[in-house]
Amino acid sequence: MGQDTDDNFSVESTSGSPMSLLFALAAMAILGAATFWFVSQRPLAQKILVDEETRSVIFTTEYRTGPQADRLSWDNIVKLQHITSSNGNFEIVAITTDAEKVVIQTSSERPLTGTANAYAQIMEKPLEVVDNTRGFHKTGQE
């Protein structure tokens, strides 16, 4: 008559398989590790010193993992540039013998012309004034 048997029922699964759960946990672990690496690689503070005694520019950067210091000898600098950007920022940049541009100082508040002239005089390097406010041109080369 209408007897129920255990052979005729089905169960719907509402949760994911163990492999999809494992995949989700692995993805979260990778995302967490990438975020931690990114945060630990961002500098907390940077100090730049133009040192007459050692005739070099010393860059000291503080990271979460500890400080790191780099040095740029004046012998490796070809010239200095004072750059005025179209967004209103000012930079003093050292051009190296490898044609690399190394930022020495930046300001969003005021021009650094006086400081750039002083650095150029101390280092005995030419100073090039670059004005990028109206296009790609150079003005006032010394």
Rounded average pLDDT per 10-residue block, the chain, 142 residues:
57 68 90 83 80 91 84 93 89 93 90 92 92 63 44
pTM for the model stands at 0.61
Which residues fall within 8 angstroms of residue 44, CB to CB, at 6 or more apart? 62, 63, 64
CATH number of the domain encompassing residue 94: 2.30.29.30
Does residue 26 lie in a domain region?
A: no
pLDDT at residue 142, rounded to an integer: 42
Total number of domains constituting the chain? 1
pLDDT at residue 18, rounded to an integer: 82
Does residue 59 lie in a domain region?
A: yes
Does residue 109 lie in a domain region?
A: yes
Does residue 73 lie in a domain region?
A: yes
Give the domain extent around 76.
45-136
pLDDT at residue 38, rounded to an integer: 80
Q: What is the DSSP letter of 6?
A: T
